[in-house]
């Protein structure tokens, strides 16, 4: 069982899909914030060469996804509630 379904208190497939979309959007936002902060950039001296630069984006995205799945900055929950209200209207 992944963190998204264990955190989710919703029981309908629609709510689960909305929660997943909200978590994925928060993860994308966090990944961009982490990239802007310089996470994943190799240091100027004694860096890991071209291989590190090529795969660092995958690391940043995985870290952002885990952050979002475990609560992140709370953006996913706000998005989920807004999406749910809009879907209920």
Mean pLDDT per 10-residue segment, the chain (89 residues): 48 91 96 87 64 82 96 94 89
Please report, for residues 12, 18, 49, 70, 89, the alpha-carbon distance to residue 5 in angstroms, rounded to integers and kept in the order given: 11, 12, 38, 11, 24
Q: Quick one: pLDDT at residue 6?
A: 44
Cβ count near 12 (within 10 Å): 9
Gap between the Cα atoms of 17 and 75, Å rounded: 16
Q: Quick one: pLDDT at residue 56?
A: 86
Q: Quick one: pLDDT at residue 81?
A: 94
Which of 65, 89, 79, 88 is closest to 12 using CA atoms?
88
Q: Quick one: pLDDT at residue 46?
A: 60
Q: Quick one: pLDDT at residue 45?
A: 59
């Amino acid at each position: 069982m992944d963190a998204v379904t264990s955190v989710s208190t919703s029981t309908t497939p629609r709510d689960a899909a909305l929660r997943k979309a909200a978590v994925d959007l928060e993860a994308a936002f966090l990944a961009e914030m982490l990239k802007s902060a310089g996470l994943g950039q190799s240091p100027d001296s004694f860096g890991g060469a071209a291989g590190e630069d090529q795969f660092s984006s995958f690391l940043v995205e995985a870290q952002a996804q885990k952050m979002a799945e475990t609560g992140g900055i709370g953006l996913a929950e706000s998005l989920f509630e807004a999406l749910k209200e809009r879907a209920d209207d």
